[in-house]
Chain A
Amino acid sequence: MSDSPDGVRSYTIRLELVDRPGELLRALAPIADNGGNLLSIFHERGNVTPRGQIPVEVDLEATPEQFDAIVDGLREAEITVIQAGAERYSEEVTVILVGHLVDTDLSNTLSTIQGSTGASVQALSLSAPEGTEAESSARLGLATHSGETDTVLADIREIAAEKGLRVIEPLTGGDAE
């Protein structure tokens, strides 16, 4: 499970394949076709499912867009996808903090956000044009678990309130997408 700046992430896909020659190769084609980078294949030949199919676990790297295309491609090829999108972080969210960021220990603020919200701080830009004595602003790029953005934002509001900081949140829903 890794995250890199160009948006490529690690994913695990669990498949069930029909026990016939060429089926594994057929299952891997959508991954290559859509630009995914195959990391490993765990082919449990000896472990047939009650439906007589063979479970396969595939680890790969791809961008979220590529990953979606890969899953679509597998389904189009009528390959059974048991589990997909086990990526740790799937939503990216930007917030701006405003206030006495330096005086209130910015690195502590960031580690509190990371520690208590489960979000990962992926990028930080600080702008303090009037020096660290005045109010400054910081833009945080956060990666959050799927569906947890609203909870993460609520937690950040609380953390910021304790330090007297203002939070400028993204408008989730609405034309923000």
Chain B
Amino acid sequence: MRLAIVGAGAVGTAVAELAGEYGHTVTGLADSSSGVADGDGVDVGATLERKRSEGTVGADAPGDVLQGPYDVLVEATPTTLGDAEPGFGHVRTALERDRHAVLANKGPVAERYGDVRALERESAGDVLFEATVGGAIPVLSTIADVGADNVSAVRGVLNGTANFVLSRMAAEGLSYEHVLAEAQDLGVAEADPSFDVEGTDAALKCVIVANVLAEDDGEFTLADAEVSGIRELPASALDLATEAGQTIRLIGEVSGGDVRVGPRLVPEHGTLAVGGTRNIVQLETAHAGRLNISGRGAGGPETASAVLADVGRLSE
């Protein structure tokens, strides 16, 4: 498949670097201000080197990449809320050109799921977005395999930053501020960690799952989620949990049309009490019982592997 990649952050560049290994050709790459498009294939190494040294990926405009030659548009620009632009517009352009779109950007499928599906119905292209939920963990494809009708609930740890903070606080008896600063030093938390510690990121993932489970019977957006985060959680709360054989995790839950994200008590050594930045997703199914899938919920190559798995599904 010929891939055009929009967004040259950790995920976009990892997709570009790994595409060849998966048997695909990168025919376009764009960041927010520049682009390179070539139907015969872009020289990925040279392009990423140019990005590092000059700050641009090529002499073309990002729009040229969107209108350029490709079979699949990989949308890997940063997640935005509300109108989900510019990601939504990129997806629209690809679908209107009867091309496929594979998203790593949560915005369009969390905030405008109905619009995305409507565009897809009018297009010869398909939309897939495995990478938007749980990074490397195959959450959406598992739901597709099990059948959305057979899944009664989905819950789990969907934000590595928050999980790192909570598991370090519990293990070391450290304060929230201390562990957050440490996470920022390690690159686990961003300079502005609001999106992660306030539960927004986990909530977006849950909203996407809710949209998939609803199967076009109703649409969810972030506004439908009940969200509370872990900001400034006192260490005493974790101490009290530990004394009772429990611990605290930021848990996202989709069940019976409700989407909830918040700090919850879970058994200290239970399945959901994963450590560090690890994510876990638990599915309740009608015939297969409970499924637990755990793994890396973020990271360039990890998330890129989910993007490329979607591209592989489109090739079939």
Contacts and interface: CB of A to CB of B under 8 A. Distances in A.
A5 interface: no
A123 to B, nearest CB: 9
B155 interface: yes
A109 B163 CA distance: 30
A171 B233 CA distance: 18
B3 interface: no
B234 A171 contact: no
Interface residues of B, number: 31
Contacts of A96: 237, 240-241, 248, 265
B286 to A, nearest CB: 15
B223 to A, nearest CB: 18
Nearest to A98: B237
B282 A139 contact: no
A117 interface: no
B184 interface: no
A130 B235 CA distance: 11
B255 interface: yes
Contact of B282 (A128, A135, A170, A175): A175
Contacts of B272: 171, 174-175
A169 B265 CA distance: 6
Interface in A159-173: 166, 168-171, 173
Interface residues of A, number: 24
Interface string B16-52: 0000000000000000000000000000000000000
Nearest to A127: B236
Main secondary structure of the interface of A (DSSP, over half): strand
A174 B234 contact: no
A173 B237 contact: no
Interface in A118-177: 125, 127-130, 134-139, 166, 168-171, 173-176
A168 B236 contact: no
Contacts of B134: none
A169 B271 CA distance: 17
A176 B266 contact: yes
B248 A139 contact: no
B240 A138 contact: yes
Given A168-B263, A171-B251, A98 B243 contact: no
B265 A171 contact: yes
B100 to A, nearest CB: 35
B305 to A, nearest CB: 27
A168 B264 contact: yes
A171 B145 CA distance: 26
Contacts of B236: 127-129, 136-137
Contacts of A138: 240
Nearest to B239: A127
Given A94-B244, A168-B265, A169-B265, A174 B155 contact: yes
A155 to B, nearest CB: 15
Interface string B228-255: 1000111111011101101010010101
23 contacts: A94-B246, A95-B265, A96-B248, A98-B234, A98-B237, A127-B240, A130-B234, A134-B234, A137-B234, A137-B237, A137-B239, A137-B240, A166-B228, A168-B264, A170-B246, A170-B265, A171-B265, A171-B272, A173-B255, A174-B153, A175-B271, A176-B267, A176-B270
Given A170-B264, A171-B272, A175-B267, 4 more contacts: A96-B265, A127-B236, A134-B234, A139-B243
